[in-house]
């Protein structure tokens, strides 16, 4: 798991459960790609509840409608098949990512926090809209979706009614999934499930995002 690629972060809803988000604008393992824009500071924060410029560092996918109030950003699905999504306009390398959010309720709706590199390494949190007290953690390497046996789910009290902070803390030696400051899962570079270092996504210094 020596890290040689960068990743962007995306917040999205309405996706199939426990599936990899296997898309990229340009895969550097297949062709020469343009250079990515990197995060140019040691820390970065977007607070959609209080900062009128919080949206400036994010790009919206098609059919993404977001409204704002003192609780934060609210993603809205108007018709079947829409997946409102925002993605960071920069890439980043190692560190800690925190997202404070309430996942969307509703059978068939999936709320996700996804970190993905251009060569389709991925780490994610996924929330089923029909389940209010669980979150799924998963990872994929190089877009390989031949196996879905790495998913582990954890309990979260009233996830759809109460804000919780979901974090990823990554070093060269290990990745941790964290809920409200408590480590619930750890993946080490030396773990066999990490495929001898072939599963790798790259994170950066620090991101603190408030999403509703």
Domain count, the chain: 1
Active site residue 30: no
| Segment 17-46, tens digit of pLDDT | 445 555 678 877 788 888 888 888 888 889
Q: For position 84, which CATH number holds? A: 2.60.120.200
Indicate if the pLDDT at residue 115 is higher than 90. no
27 falls within a domain: no
Residue 183's pLDDT band (boundaries 50, 70, 90)?
very high
Judge whether 31 lies within some domain.
no
126 labelled catalytic: yes
User: What Rg do the C-alpha atoms of the chain give, in angstroms?
Assistant: 16
What would the DSSP string read from start to end of 131-154?
A: -SSEEEEEEESTT--S--TT-EEE
- Interatomic CA distance for residues 113 and 132, integer angstroms: 16
Give the per-residue pLDDT at 25: 80
Q: Which domain holds residue 63?
A: 7-21+37-210
The model's pLDDT over 63-105, given as tens digits with 9 standing for 90+, comes to 888 888 888 889 888 888 888 888 888 887 777 889 999 999 9
Q: Point out the catalytic residue in the list 126, 134, 173, 186.
A: 126
Nearest of 95, 89, 108 to residue 39 by alpha carbon: 89
How far, rounded to the nearest angstrom, does the alpha carbon of residue 74 sit from its chain's CA centroid? 17
Catalytic residue among 30, 55, 122, 173: 122
Mean residue pLDDT of the chain comes to 78
**What does DSSP assign to residue 153?**
E
Distance CA 82, CA 27 (A): 25
Whether 203 shows a pLDDT value over 60: the answer reads: no
Is residue 26 in a domain?
A: no
Contact of 97 with 115, CB cutoff 8 Å: yes
């Amino acid at each position: 798991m020596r890290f040689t690629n960068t990743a962007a972060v995306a917040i999205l809803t309405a996706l199939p459960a426990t599936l990899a988000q296997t898309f990229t604008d340009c895969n550097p393992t297949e062709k020469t790609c343009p250079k990515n824009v990197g995060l140019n500071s040691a820390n970065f924060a977007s607070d959609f509840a209080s900062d009128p410029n919080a949206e400036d560092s994010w790009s919206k996918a098609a059919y993404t409608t977001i409204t704002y109030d003192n609780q934060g950003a609210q993603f809205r699905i108007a018709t079947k098949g829409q997946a409102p999504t925002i993605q960071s306009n920069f890439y980043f390398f190692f560190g800690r990512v925190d997202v404070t959010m309430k996942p969307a309720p509703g059978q068939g709706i999936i709320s996700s926090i996804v970190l993905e590199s251009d060569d389709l390494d991925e780490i994610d949190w996924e929330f089923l809209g029909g389940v209010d007290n669980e979150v799924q953690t998963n990872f994929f390497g190089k877009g390989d979706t031949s196996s879905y046996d790495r998913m582990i789910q954890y309990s979260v009290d009233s996830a759809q009614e109460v804000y919780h902070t979901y974090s990823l803390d990554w070093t060269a030696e290990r990745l941790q999934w964290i809920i409200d400051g408590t480590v619930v899962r750890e993946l080490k570079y030396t773990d066999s499930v990490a495929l001898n270092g072939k599963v790798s996504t790259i994170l950066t210094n620090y991101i603190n995002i408030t999403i509703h």
